Amino acid sequence: MVKIKQLFIAIIAVAFSTFSVAQTTDKDFKTSNAHFKMSAHIKSGDYIDKRVIIKVKSQYRSVCSANTIEDALFKQLYTNVGGSGLTKKFPHSFSPANSVNRSGQYLADLSLIYEFNYSASVSVEKVINKFAALQLFEYVEPHYIPHVCYSPYTPNDPGLLFEYSIINIRADSAWGINTTTARGDTNVVIGITDTGTEPTHSDLKNQIKHNYADIPDGSDNDGDGYIDNFGGWDLGENDNDPTWTMSQHGVHTSGIAAASVDNAIGMAGIGFNCKFLPVKIADAIGALTFAYEGITYAADHGCAIINCSWGGAGGGQFGQDVITYATINKNALVVAAAGNNYSDELFYPASYKYVISVANTRSNDSLSVSSNYNYTVDVCAPGESIYSTYPTDSYSFQTGTSMASPCVAGAAAIVKSFYPSYTALQIGERLKMTTDNIYPIMSGPVYANKLGTGRINLYKALTQPLSPSVVMTQHNIVDNNDNNFVVADTLRIRGNYTNYLAPTTNLIATLSTTSPYINILHATTTLGAIATLAATDNNTDPFQTKILPGAPKNQAVTFKITYSDAATSYTASEFFTVIINIDYINIAINDIATTVNGNGRIGYNMDNQVGGLGFNYKNQGTILYDAGLMIGVSTSQVSDVVRGVSGGLSDADFKAVVSAHTITPATFSDFDVDGIFNDSSVSPPIPVVVHHKAFAWSSVGNRKFVIVQYVISNSGTAPLTNLYAGICADWDINAATYGSNRASFDAADKMGYAYYTGANGTYAGIRLLTNTAPVVHYAIDNLPGGGGGVDLHAGGFDSNEKYTTLSTNRTDAGVAGNGNDVLDVVSSGPFNIAVGDSIKVAFALIAGDSLADLKTSAVNAQIKYDGLYTTTVLDNAINNSDILAVYPNPTNGESMININIRENATVELKIFNLLGAEIKTIASEKMQPGMHSLLYSTSNLSNGLYYYQLIVNNKKYIHKLIVNK
C-alpha cells in the first residue's frame, strides 16, 4: 500500500555545508520552508482564513511549552501579524523515544505542532512564508478544511436487496468461510472520522465501540484528556456527543462500514461484527475543521482502521505527519476517498503516502462519472447508489467516493480480523493484491494505471494464496553533476524496496516511461530474495535514464516500475514523477545564496517564494520576498516578471528561449550562468530579446555579491526610445520585523539599498555596474497610500507605476518611525536602441553587515565586473602545447598533474566540484620554468565530474577530471 505518491522531484544545486542535494528520504511530501504557494485547485473555503499551523524543529524543543514559543524573532513576528490563540494541536502527545520503528520507518512526532490565528490584513501565503523564513519550523501551513465526498440521491425503497456492493466485492462469500474471524472481530475498531453519526439508530447503536475506562460521570477517568468519551467524541464542538448536526453524511458512511448484520432490520455493514468509533470532525456550522485531528484521535483510541470520506486539494506536511503518526506510530490503516471531481488530480488525504486511496465504481464495475482517478489511487470499490443508514432511524441511497471508502474500510477490518498479526500496511497491501481487474471495462489511455489495482474482492483477500507485495519506500535520484536534470543529463535512480507480504525468490524490477523526452539506458535491476517485512535496495545497480533534446522546461516525466518474480508468479507496478529541465539555477558558492530564473526572476522560481533560495545571506534565512527584471519604453508598455495588478501575482511577460544553465567549467567567474529570454508572449511586446548572465566568486572580498548582466536587443522593426531597464526587489530584511525596513540611495556607488532599522541590522543593495546610461533609483513604501510614492495597495503595480519607478528618482522609503515594508527599484536609462542593435546593463546584488560593509562589496563588485572580459583563458607564461596534463583521466584513485611553466610565475592550482565549490588547494606557490608534477589522491571524492583550475600570473586555465571508482 505504501507508494511514491506523485513524487515531484526538483532537486536543486546548492553548496551549503548543511544541505545535501541528493538526500534519501521517505518523506515524499516534505514542504520546504519559505517556499509555500497555494495550489491552483484550492478555493476560498478550502482553508480557514487567518489561521496557521506550524511545527517547531526538534532542536528548539526547549523553547516550547503548551501555549508559548520563547523565541524572540517568532514573538516579534507573531505580534506584528496580530497573532492570538497559540496552542499545541496535540497537547497529550509526546515525542517518540526512537525516531524509527523496527522496520526502519520514520515515526511521526506530533508534540511540537501548534496552531494560531492572526488579525493582520495580510494574505495567508505571505504570513506563512514570513514565519517559514525564521528557520524555526519544519513547516508552516494553512489549516485546510476538507469536504465530504458524496453526491446526494433520494431513496425510494429500503432493503438489503439494494446492497449490490456486498455481491460485487464478494463480502457474502467471505463471511461464509467461517463464523468467527471472517465475520469480523468486535475488538477490531473502525474509526469513522466524519460529520457525526446517529448513536440511537437501530442499525448503529449496537456497533459503537464504547470506552468502559471512562464511563459518563463528569470525570476523565482514563486520563486521556477527554471527559466521558464513552461513545466517541465531537472534536468540532469539543464534547462527548458525536451526533451529527448539520450534515447526515457521517450517518451514511457509518452504516456502510459497520451497520449491524443479522439483526433482521435495515442493511448489513461490510465489517459485520467489527465495531466503529464515531469521531465527529465538523464544527457547529458543519465545516470539517478538525479533520486531521480526528485521525489522530481515532489512532490514539485503538482504531485499527480509520475511514476518511472527505478531503480536498490542499495537502501539506501537517497532514502527512498525521497520516504517518496513525500508520507508523499507532499501526492504524487510513482509508480515504479519492474525490468527486471526475478528474486526474491529487486529493488529500487520499494522495498522501501510506493511505489507501479509493475510487468509486458502479454496479457494473465501470468508474462512476463523479470519481477522481490518478496514479495515487490504490483500489476501487462500489460507491454509486449505495444503500445505508440515514437519519432519523431510516435509510438512504447516496453516491460518491465517500461511499466507496467505508466499503474498503469495512473490508480492511475483516482482513485485520482474519489476519490479526498483520500490520496496517500489510492489510492495505493484501487488499491491493487481491482485487478484480476492471481495466477491460474502463479501457483507454485516460484511465490507464489510474484506478489502482482494481475493484476490491474481500473473498479473495481472505482465501487467495499469499503473494509478495513490494513497494519502493524511499528514493534517491542524482545526475552525478549539479542535479538540475537538464537535456543530456544521465539520471541514476536508486531506491529502497520493502516487501510486505510473501517472500520473493528472485525479484526483478524494470523501469519504463512513455515520455518521448527520456531514453532508458539501464532499465532492469535484480532485487532478488526479499523476506516478509524485509527491505533491500539497488544502490549498486541503479536505473539509468538520459534526458533527450527537445524536452520542454519544467516537464513532468512519469516513470513506471514493474516488479516480476517468476518463481512466485508475482507481478505489480507503481509510478513516480520527476520534473526535468527546471528553468532556474541556484547559486550558493559564497556568502550569498540566491536563484537566477530563466525568465528574469531573481530569488524564486514562482510567486509566494516557491522554488529557489531567495536571497540568503550567511545562511541566516532569506532577506528577499521577490525580485525581477523590468524593461519599459512608456507608461503603457512595460515587460517584466514582478508583481502586477492581479491579486499580488507577478506578471509573466518574459519566456525563456534558452533555459538558464550553468557554464561548466566556469569561464569568467567561479560560477557562470547563462540564458536567453524574450517578451514575445506579451500582446503587444516591446519587443526585446534578453541574453542574461550571472557571475559569482568565492574569493576573499568577493563573497558578498552576485552580478547579473542583461544584453537587451531590439528584435522589432522600429527603433526603441526612452527604454529603461532595472531590477525591482521587495526586501524583507529580518523576517520577523520586515515592517521595520528602510530604503535609501548611495549616489557615489550608484546603489540603492535597504536595511533593518533595529540594532545590528543586515543591509542589502543593488548597484548599477554599467556606465552607458545614468543610474535611476526609486524607493517604494509598501503600505496603503504609498507614503507619497506609488501606491501598490490601490490596484496593484501597473505599467504606469512600473515605468515611473524605472524612470524617475525617489531617494527614500520607510523614513517614518522604525520604517515599514519597502521595495527598491534600481535601473538605468534612457536608452535608444536601433533595430537589430543592443545595449548592456549589469547590476551587483549585495548583502552586508553594515552600510560600510555594503559599500566595500559594491566597490569590489565594480572591480570584478570591469575586469570580467579582460581575463584571457590562456597565458603566455604557460606552454600552450602542454599547459596542464592530467592522467589517468578518468581516475579511480590518484591523479597526476603535470604543469609546464615557461618562465618564473606565481602558480595556484585548485580542484572544484561542478557547483563551483572548492574541494582543495593543491598548490599555491612561485614556480620556476620547467615541468612540475603534482600527485593528488581522489579517494575522498565521489564519482562524477570535477575540474582543475590553474592560475598562472593571474591568468586562468581549466581542465576537467572524471572520477570513476
Catalytic residue numbers, as ranges:
194, 249, 402
Query: What are the Cα distances from residue 582, in Å, to 11, 333, 597, 615, 656?
Result: 9, 36, 9, 19, 11
Q: What is the spatial distance between Cα 653 and Cα 649, in angstroms, rounded to a whole number?
A: 12
Cα–Cα nearest to 350, from 419, 303, 295: 295
Q: Is 844 helix (H, G, I), strand (E, B) or coil?
A: strand
User: What is the side-by-side order of every strand in the sheet holding 955-963?
Assistant: 918-927, 905-913, 944-952, 955-963
Burial of residue 819 (CB within 10 Å: 0-12, 13-18, 19+) is buried
Contact 475, 498 (CB under 8 A): no
Cβ neighbour number for residue 437 with a 10 Å cutoff: 11
Reading the block at residue 32, the C-alpha cell is 520546504
Chain mean position to CA 403: 30
Reading the block at residue 939, the C-alpha cell is 579517494
Contact 639, 646 (CB under 8 A): no
Angle CA 137–139–140, to nearest 5: 95
User: What is the side-by-side order of every strand in the sheet holding 394-399?
Assistant: 151-153, 394-399, 386-390
Q: Which residue has the cell 519587443?
A: 687
CA atoms within 13 A on the CB side of 3: 30
Direct distance between the N- and C-terminal alpha carbons of the chain, in angstroms, rounded to an integer: 37
Percent of residues in the chain assigned helix, strand, coil, to nearest 5: 15, 35, 50
Contact 37, 606 (CB under 8 A): yes
Q: What is the spatial distance between Cα 84 and Cα 99, in angstroms, rounded to a whole number?
A: 32
Cα–Cα nearest to 281, from 322, 313, 316, 317: 322
Burial of residue 364 (CB within 10 Å: 0-12, 13-18, 19+) is exposed
Residue 502 is which amino acid?
A
Contact 788, 813 (CB under 8 A): no
Q: Residue 80's beta-bridge partner residues?
A: none
Q: Is 258 helix (H, G, I), strand (E, B) or coil?
A: helix
Reading the block at residue 231, the C-alpha cell is 461513545
Q: Is 403 helix (H, G, I), strand (E, B) or coil?
A: helix
Q: What is the spatial distance between Cα 575 and Cα 511, in angstroms, rounded to a whole number?
A: 10
Residue 671 is which amino acid?
F
Q: How do beta strands 507-513 and 524-528 pair?
A: antiparallel
Angle CA 770–774–778, to nearest 5: 105
Residues 6+ apart with CB under 8 A from 400: 148, 149, 150, 151, 309, 337, 340, 360, 368, 370, 383
Contact 703, 590 (CB under 8 A): yes
